Amino acid sequence: MLIPGFASPVAVDIQDVKVSYYEHIALRHVSLQIGRGEFVGVIGPNGAGKTTLLTVINGLGRIHSGTVKIFGERLDRRNIRFWRSRIGYVPQSLKVDPRVPVSCLEAVVIGASGRLGIFRRVGQVEVKKAEMLMDFFHILNLRNRPVGQVSGGEMQKVALARALLQEPEILLLDEPTSNLDPPSVEELTGFITSIYQRFNLTVIMVTHQIEHLPAVCQRLVLVKKGRVVFVGNRDEGLRPDRLKGLFSNE
């Protein structure tokens, strides 16, 4: 399907967005543009508003003022489900009850649910694609295992496979490497690099661990206390004095 909005060179356009939870202001008049095909890292201390920034892009977070445009189209009630089905989202370490009666394959196939739309059933095509993605992430052996009984790294691969089954234009990664051991971080970072290059995606990755950002990430957004304090190239963003200021308590 050809979607006119996809011709826009700007994948995400956030203008003057404010988000608050009761008295706590999570985002203060944030404006940000992310181009098609960019890999952007969002860095900041805990509670800076990084996750909120991601959730306003796929409409999971409620904004109080401002606008969010995806490929030039303003997000609103009428198109929110359409865009969600085309924005892959990997949340920070999903906790799943080990007893949940859902296998890893079924958890991946859920990714096709939105794109298929209501009344169309999941068919062999979706299952085959899910299996191919699981094979790509080296987790095909887990296809029948209950999804609550896999390790943190495996769970993140399941989440990545589910997000890619959406055949997304944009991929949002919320601290995908947090709580993982160093070999798992290295493996997952390799996969993220690989899918960015292979699937021609726009990727926005949130992290507070700078060393976990893949080398392909060349643009950084630094966030502190709900404000974007820096947008620019990686080398400039990772200057020691800048990082010291970002993670200080001031």
Partner 1 sequence: MNEMAVLLKPVLATLLGGAVCGIVGVWVVLLNIPFVGVAMSHSAFAGAIFGLLVGVDPLIPALLFCVGASCLIGPIAERGDFEPGVALGVIFALMLGLAFLGVGLLKGPRTEALNFIWGNILLTSRRDLILLGVLLFILVGFLVVLNKEVKAVLFNREIARAVGVPERAIFFALVMLCGLVVSVNLDTIGGLLIFSLIVSPASAAYQITYRLKTMYLLSIGFAVGSCVAGLVLSWLFNLPTGAVIICIASLIFALALLFSPKRRVQRKLG
Q: Which residues make up the interface to partner 1 (CB under 8 A)? A: 21, 58, 60, 81-87, 89, 91, 94, 96, 98-103, 106-107, 109-116, 118-119, 121-122, 146-147, 149, 162, 166
- In whole angstroms, the minimum distance from the beta carbon of 152 to partner 1 comes to 13
Cβ pair 110, 81 in contact under 8 A: no
As a dihedral over the C-alpha atoms of residue 145, residue 151, residue 156, residue 160, rounded to 10 degrees, the angle is -30
Task: Round to whole Å and give the CA distance between 199 and 181.
Answer: 27
- In whole angstroms, the minimum distance from the beta carbon of 244 to partner 1 comes to 35
Given the complex with partner 1, which of 38 and 126 has the nearer CB atom?
126
- In whole angstroms, the minimum distance from the beta carbon of 68 to partner 1 comes to 15
Given the complex with partner 1, which of 113 and 194 has the nearer CB atom?
113
Give the CA distances from residue 36 to residues 85, 104, 202, in Å, rounded to whole numbers and listed in that order.
17, 31, 6
Given the complex with partner 1, which of 143 and 242 has the nearer CB atom?
143
- In whole angstroms, the minimum distance from the beta carbon of 161 to partner 1 comes to 12
Cβ neighbour number for residue 230 with a 10 Å cutoff: 17
Identify the burial level of 241 via C-beta atoms within 10 angstroms of its C-beta, where 0-12 means exposed, 13-18 middle and 19 or more buried. Answer: exposed
- In whole angstroms, the minimum distance from the beta carbon of 122 to partner 1 comes to 5
Given the complex with partner 1, which of 84 and 208 has the nearer CB atom?
84
